[in-house]
Amino acid sequence: MASVSSSTDLDSMSDHDLYSKIIRYTSLPQYVNTIASQFVRDVMKNRPYVTFHWRFDNSDWMSSCRHNRAPTPRRKLCSFILSLKPPHIANAILLGLTEVNDVILKDVTTNDVISDVYIATPPSQYGVMEELEKLLRVSQNITMHYGIHMRRYVIQNFPHCDWLLPNLNDVLSNSEMTVCVKSHTFYRATSSSWSTNVVLSRPRSKFNPRILDLLRTANHTS
C-alpha cells in the first residue's frame, strides 16, 4: 500500500483534501477492482458509460420524510422524489446522456457517443430499475445495467470464492463503487457518503454533477 509522503503538511490541508487522500491511500481490496473491471469488460463490453447514484429508497433515505419535524425544504424535496416514476427518471437519464454527448461531440477527434449507463441503487429499488431498464431499452435504445446484473455476474463467475456469499452485499456495493469510479461521468447523490467516496476516488478532471439537479431540470421543477 502506498504511503503518504513525509513532506505532506497535514495541518495545512482542508478536511476535504485530507479525506480525499485517506480514500486514495486506503484503496479497496484488489478483488473488488478485478470484479468491477471484468464486469465492465464482459457485460458492458468495455464501452464508455455514464453512472448514476439513485439512493432514494424507502427504508433509508425516505425515512426522514416521515419525520413530523422535518424542515420545510426537506418536506418539499421528499414530495418531489415521491412523485417521480420511471418515465421521470428516464427523462433525467436521457438529459444526462445528452449533456455528456454534447461535450463529446465538440471534440473533433471522435464521433463516439455514449449510450450505456449503470445505476447504483439499493436492492429495494430493483423493481423500479427493472421497469426503467425496459423503458430505456425499448423506447431509446439505451443499454442500462444495475445491481441485479452485477449480482448475477459475481455469483456466476466467482463460485469458487467461499468468502463471497457471506459478504455478498458488501462486495456488490464496493464493486458498484468501483464501476462508478471508472465511468466517464458520475451523477452523484448529495449528502451521501457513498457518492462522496466515489467522487474523491475519481481524478479531478472527471465530471461529477448532481443527480438531483438533473431530475429537477428534466422534469421542469425548480
pLDDT digits (tens, 9 = 90+) for 102-116: 988 887 666 789 999
Average pLDDT estimate for 201-212:
90
Domain assignment present for 162: yes
Q: Give the per-residue pLDDT at 106.
A: 85
Domain assignment present for 185: yes
Three-state DSSP state, 202: coil
Q: The pTM is what? A: 0.85
Q: Give the per-residue pLDDT at 165.
A: 83
Name which of 29, 2, 66, 9 is nearest 177 in CA terms: 29
Domain assignment present for 21: no
Domain assignment present for 24: no
The pLDDT tens digits of the residues spanning 89-147 come to 999 999 999 999 998 888 766 678 999 999 999 999 999 999 999 999 998 999 999 99
Domain assignment present for 184: yes
Q: Give the per-residue pLDDT at 33.
A: 93
Domain that holds residue 125: 47-218
| Pairwise CA distance, residues 93 & 42, whole Å | 23
Domain assignment present for 3: no
Confidence of residue 2 (pLDDT cuts 50, 70, 90): very low
Is the pLDDT score of 43 beyond 80?
A: yes
Q: Give the per-residue pLDDT at 14.
A: 56
**What CATH number should be reported for the domain holding residue 115?**
3.40.50
**First vs last C-alpha separation in the chain:** 46
143-146, strands of its sheet edge to edge: 143-146, 116-120, 50-53, 185-187
Confidence of residue 59 (pLDDT cuts 50, 70, 90): confident
Domain assignment present for 1: no
Is the pLDDT score of 6 beyond 50?
A: no
**186 close to 206: Cβ distance less than 8 angstroms:** yes
Is the pLDDT score of 178 beyond 90?
A: yes
Is the pLDDT score of 166 beyond 70?
A: yes
Domain assignment present for 10: no
Mean pLDDT of the chain: 86
**19 close to 11: Cβ distance less than 8 angstroms:** no
The HSE-up count of residue 185 (CA atoms within 13 Å, CB side) is 23
**176 close to 129: Cβ distance less than 8 angstroms:** no
Radius of gyration of the chain (CA): 19
**Of 211 and 7, which is predicted with more confidence?**
211
Residue 69 per-residue DSSP state: T
Q: Count structural domains, the chain.
A: 1
Residue 88 per-residue DSSP state: H
